[in-house]
Amino acid sequence: MKTDMKTVGVIGAGSWGTALATVIADKGNKVRIFDVDEKHLKSMEKYRENIDYLPGVQLSDNIKIVYSSEEACTGADVVLFSAPAQHFRSALMSALEYLPEDALFINVAKGIERGTHKRMSEIAEEVFKEMGTPEKMDKYVVLSGPSHAEEVGRRQPTTVATASRNPESAKAIQDLFMTDRFRVYTSDDVIGVELGGALKNIIALGAGISDGMGFGDNAKAALMTRGLAEITRLGVKLGAKPETFAGLTGTGDLIVTCTSMHSRNRRCGIMIGEGMSPEEAVEKVGMVVEGMYTAEAAYELAKIAEVEMPITDAIYNVTKGNKKVSEALAELMSRQRRPEHD
């Protein structure tokens, strides 16, 4: 990937896709952004602002609203997928025939696909194998880290990481995004980066539930610390590097998601802790709450991998209505005594 200005297609005009489009466009790159919600796109085009999901951030003149995957992808140097995790497969399939042969593609969704238990890179690899082009995975890059769209869109300092099995692809995307307000590191641990970004949403639901029940800092600190321990256990079992979970896409993302009101997962958890049903809480948030889906996928994946994840189990059972919050809490606090480090 050359260092001159690029044409970037963005699939998904939610808050995060729009914020990242802003970072890229601020550097002089040409961005074409598409979403399946045509009404939403027309609003963005009319007001030059994502009023629905990122209000207050004016769209750069370098950002063009387009109305098809074909228009977003054709001739692009980079294609960025910002669809919710449960829709990444369909978004990729819809864009496949328009992806230029040499284009890099980025996925920024944080989740695990329900039913298949696949990470986003595993979905991409499966799709490309079916198309007879497995080599395209050398162009796949994941971008993750502690990064609320609301802050990125307002050019507040943010640091993230990119990961790819091809170091040159990770570096190219690092160059695409790097600014004096958006710092990017690289990694070769795609598994760890993807799992850290996905699983922290479950713990953020738990942190919100704790807040909603009126518990204090002690409870949240314990939840985050032990949550990170079980995230790391599963990640290492699945082939991730343990040190990844001590970095931006592990500890960093966990901190920001468990402590901020920008976090949809935490806000959803707060309402559940206050007594609202999980379904009502999701509706009240008004946007995709990835942790609700990931809790189910991670619960099942942990059983398959034979990894103990008691906090994930508890949050899964609460969000599914299988247990009351008070019951899940009592079970967690009364588990068999053990050393902190096995």
Tokens coding 283: 């509706």
Q: Which residues are catalytic?
A: 200
Helix axes 310-319, 325-333, angle to 10 degrees: 170
For the chain, list the strands marked E by DSSP: 7-11, 30-34, 49-50, 54-58, 63-65, 78-81, 104-107, 140-144, 158-163, 182-187
Q: Do the Cβ atoms of 162 and 182 come closer than 8 Å?
A: no
Tokens coding 34: 């598409």
Nearest to 207 by CA among 311, 302, 118: 311
- Which three-class secondary structure state does DSSP give residue 65? strand
Chain-centre distance of CA 280, in angstroms? 23
Cα–Cα dist 28/34, whole Å: 19
Query: What type of residue is 182?
Result: F
Nearest to 82 by CA among 17, 143, 130: 17
Handedness of CA 234, 240, 246, 250 (dihedral sign): negative
Nearest to 200 by CA among 223, 166, 171, 174: 223
Q: Do the Cβ atoms of 294 and 200 come closer than 8 Å?
A: no
